Amino acid sequence: MTSTSESKQRVAAKGHTVLVVDDEPSICWALEKMLTQEGHSVVTASSAEEGLERASEVQPQLVILDVRLPKEDGITALPKFLAATGQAPVVVITAFGDLETAVAAVKNGATDYLTKPFKLEDALRVCRQALADTNPHTPAVVATKAPVNPTAIIGTSPAMQQVFRQIALVAESDLSVLITGETGTGKELVAAAIHRHSRRSDGPYLPIAPVALNPDLIESELFGHVKGAFTGASDDRAGLFERAEGGTVLLDEIGDLPLGTQVKLLRVLEQGQYSRVGDVRTRTANVRILAATNCDLHEAVAEGTFREDLFHRMTGMQIHLPPLRERSVDLGLLCQHFLAGVQYPAPEKAISDELLAELQKQPWHGNVRELKNAVEHAAVLARSRPLSIHDFPPPAPGRGESSSSPQGSLEKSIEQWALSSLQSSDEPPQDLHAKFLAATEPTLFKIILAHTGGNRAKASEILGIHRGTLRDRLRSYGMDETDTS
């Protein structure tokens, strides 16, 4: 622990004064060493109460504040540190890296936050950024939130912690956000979370997928139309941006937006203006625009199917959702979450370590959406017993793979046969390998022998087995005909 006299001496040191408040001595030591090497003065405290005393003594330019402290927690004490330091930036440290903690930290005035365990280089980067920010720190308004599902977005992996951090930091602004990721990664959930934690949360949230609309009516859906603007326009009609006044719009799969409509969307983003189809009057759009896509917009820009100026204007911030195969550490929590959603008894005990290891081997091309469907499928088959890998459907084919290809059809047939055999009774089947060979080898041998004109020597060479082995297998299947070799 740093004494008061030592604290006052360090204030005179070159650089900034940084206050570290954490009850773990190892964290204080590591941060103090790192920041001292940067030329800063470091004062440490092990509780919020002690930290506030140090803050009034040394007036730090940066506070690093742990959430879980012995008495008053860091989130509750955060506004007090802002008041005691004249709104110095506060970086929050938390071992509970969920979205709600991140949002609470930012809404209470945190500049940024780190999740334990963190790398020192990440902490240094965050501290440098906080100290380099010359803008006066304005504490966020703590608004009363409507009840939300705290597990709507699940994940403890570093990749998801980064997503939570980005949502928390961007939610209170009005920046446009581009959300990228493969199909099924949860882009719509991220967009909804941004709106839910924003200042516009009391306003409408309207998602729309332009690709699902009639190409001739996309502009009418987005901007509205006046009576007589086109055949069938019998009345004036408000569009998406008008109905979302004061709220948020999500344009899902924005890469499919026609070029002509992209120009008009750019006008909304740059000038906040639009016109209904068939109307000369200009209207003002008070909406926040979020967009999502599973395609590479850089490639679309290069191909000329997406405007470069719209791309840059749309990406006030980009949030990328990792595919599930890159965050397999989250599989167990996700499975429990989905089992709880179908009221499965004791979901925390339903997934064994062995089953989880098997699930983590799968590619999950459909990502979280595929996992959700698979878990619900397994829950129906398992009823109330612990789940097994045999309760799960076969993995979905990935991009470029086709279940209608010969290889895909063969794999699907084998999977269906195996699953049917495993689920045919409550007792584990016996001699399944022998049964599989008996079901498949006769057909294979028949085709190969027909191809070789009954020549077993050639058939053995094609099959890659000894001629005597082929003879014995044919006899076992009652296929021992005269050798024509």
* Residue extent(s) of CATH 3.40.50.300 domains in the chain: 158-320
The pLDDT assigned to 445 comes to 85
Asked whether 17 and 10 are in contact (CB, 8 A), the reply is: yes
The pLDDT assigned to 135 comes to 41
Q: Which of 62, 84, 67, 71 is nearest to 27 (CA)?
A: 67
Report the 3 state secondary structure along the chain.
Answer: CCCHHHHHHHHCCCCCEEEEECCCHHHHHHHHHHHHHCCCEEEEECCHHHHHHHHHHHCCCEEEEECCCCCCCHHHHHHHHHHHHCCCCEEEEECCCCHHHHHHHHHCCCCEEEECCCCHHHHHHHHHHHHHCCCCCCCCCCCCCCCCCCCCCCCCCHHHHHHHHHHHHHHCCCCCEEEECCCCCCHHHHHHHHHHCCCCCCCCEEEECHHHCCHHHHHHHHHEECCCCCCCCCCCEECHHHHCCCCEEEEECHHHCCHHHHHHHHHHHHHCEECCECCCCCEECCCEEEEEECCCHHHHHHHCCCCHHHHHHHCCEEEECCCHHHCHHHHHHHHHHHHHHCCCCCHHHCCCHHHHHHHHHCCCCCHHHHHHHHHHHHHHHHCCCCCCHHHCCCCCCCCCCCCCCHHHHHHHHHHHHHHHHHCCCCCCCCCHHHHHHHHHHHHHHHHHHHHCCCCHHHHHHHHCCCHHHHHHHHHHCCCCCCCCC
Tens digit of pLDDT per residue, the chain (485 long)? 444 444 434 333 358 899 999 988 888 899 999 999 888 999 998 898 998 998 888 899 999 998 888 888 888 888 998 888 888 899 988 876 677 777 888 888 888 888 888 888 888 888 888 887 634 333 332 222 333 344 468 888 888 988 998 999 899 899 999 999 999 999 999 999 999 999 999 999 999 888 777 777 888 888 888 888 888 878 888 888 999 999 999 999 999 888 888 999 999 999 999 888 888 888 999 999 999 999 999 999 998 999 999 999 999 899 999 999 999 999 999 998 888 888 888 877 888 899 999 999 999 999 999 999 999 998 888 777 788 888 899 887 765 554 445 555 677 677 667 766 765 555 667 777 888 888 888 888 888 888 887 888 888 888 888 888 888 888 888 876 544 44
* Rama region for 226: left / alpha / beta (φ>0; ψ in -120 to 50; rest): beta
The pLDDT assigned to 471 comes to 87
Non-local CB neighbours of 433 within 8 Å, separated by 6+ positions: none
pTM score: 0.62
Domain formed by 432-476, architecture = Orthogonal Bundle (1.10)
Q: Which fold has domain 330-422?
A: Helicase, Ruva Protein; domain 3 (1.10.8)
The pLDDT assigned to 422 comes to 67
Q: Helix crossing, 48-58 with 74-85: angle to 10°?
A: 10
As given in the structure block, the two tokens for residue 149 are 């599902």
* Residue extent(s) of CATH 1.10.8 domains in the chain: 330-422
Non-local CB neighbours of 76 within 8 Å, separated by 6+ positions: 48
The pLDDT assigned to 5 comes to 42
The pLDDT assigned to 406 comes to 55
| Unique residue bearing structure tokens 């405290």 | 45
As given in the structure block, the two tokens for residue 480 are 């021992």
* Residue extent(s) of CATH 1.10.10.60 domains in the chain: 432-476
The pLDDT assigned to 432 comes to 79
CATH superfamily label, 158-320: P-loop containing nucleotide triphosphate hydrolases (3.40.50.300)
Assigned CATH for 4-132: 3.40.50.2300
